[in-house]
Chain A
Amino acid sequence: MTFNSGEVWQKLAYSNSYLRFEVRMLLLALKAGFRPDQPRVPAGTPDGGQWTDEGARGHVHLASSRPRATGRVRINGRWQTATPDQEARLAVSQGRLLEALQKVRKIDPGWKPNPQAYETIEGYIRANQWSTAEAYFRIFQLQATRVGPGPYAREWIPAPPTNRRLTQAEQREINRIGRKFGCHWCGRQDPGTPSGNHVGDHQMPRSWGTPTRVYPHCIWCSASQGGLIKHLKSRRR
């Protein structure tokens, strides 16, 4: 074996300068927060090649390893079995409630629906639907100035359970309240109808839920409310 001191010296000098270069680069990289082993987004995606968060690697789930829908819903700490139909309706009701809450909280950030009690999946769905209706009614109250019981609302009659016209006795009672307290919104005692009948105003409006009360209205406030309902209804489409 021959030993060429000049060649050895050159190799050692090269190794030394290479190591110094690498140490310097590593120091610079550490200073800049760069880590050579940091993962990158794979090619073929819009962000391909860019550095990615290492934490994301820990959250990657293969589709095949995701837990499958079990058809079970937890209500009040108890697991209940849901049919596919119930699961679908529950998902729809939750989605609609979330959408309604987002809309109402843009106007009234602190608004919350009334708490609901339920024990079954059907009850859970109905609770979501009721809270959705409540949220839309709140939007309606906030956006439309002439809906909801007005400042002259004192007495009322229960709304008919079906979409029928008022009976003569109900109309007489609405007229009595109207003559005594006036239109529930403007206080006008002349309803403006040729018959002298006050217009029965269902609250909440039928397009927003099931009305529970009927108040006396004048034709001007009634037409005004109708226009607002039509306008809001078209905005909801």
Chain B
Amino acid sequence: MVVKTLVIAPEYVSFYVAGRREVTPPIDLDYGRIAATRECITVPSLYSNDGDTTVVVGPLSELNQTLTPDHDGLLDTPHRLLMLSDALIDIADIPVSSTRTHIRIWVNHPTQPDHVVIGWADG
């Protein structure tokens, strides 16, 4: 498994991690932080006019993250794909090995991160 690095500039200051295309993204209307359901995780990102957001995606075993994750939960991945998208475009499809995937996310700012790490493992 390879760790991928993506540079994105989402239009609506957030992007989504899901196992299907047809999802209803959860929104943290109070604080604008990471919000998650079993079908979709909404991850905040830097305002596109302030710069790009770097997203690192890979298996948890290869990320060597020591800090406490900002999100730790399970995601349904019925197609064995981790689908990254923003409101307008599909960003990347990452193959995973299970239909239920354990996801951990680290961000360097609670609402406007420019560096996001997403780690996955079999759920």
Number of interface residues of B (CB under 8 A): 30
Docked pose: A24 CA to B29 CA in angstroms: 81
Interface 9-mer from B6-14, B74-82, B91-99: B6-14
Q: A111 to chain B: closest CB distance in Å?
A: 25
Measured CB to CB, the residues of A under 8 A from B are: 165-166, 171, 192-195, 197, 199-200, 202, 206-207, 219-220, 222-227, 229-231, 233-235, 237
Interchain Cβ contacts under 8 Å between A and B, 13 examples: A193-B47, A194-B112, A200-B49, A206-B11, A207-B87, A220-B29, A223-B42, A224-B27, A225-B12, A226-B12, A227-B14, A227-B27, A230-B87
Of the listed residues B48, B87, B109, B111, the one surrounded by the most CB atoms of chain A closer than 10 A to its CB is B87
User: Residue on A with the closest CB to B33?
Assistant: A223
Docked pose: A233 CA to B25 CA in angstroms: 11
Interface of B: prevailing SS: loop
- Determine if B109 and A231 form an interchain contact, defined as CB atoms under 8 angstroms apart: no
Contacts of B32 in A (CB 8 A): 192, 219-220, 223
Which 10 A-B residue pairs are closest in the complex by CB-CB distance? A226-B12, A226-B87, A234-B22, A227-B25, A229-B87, A227-B27, A230-B87, A223-B14, A231-B24, A195-B50
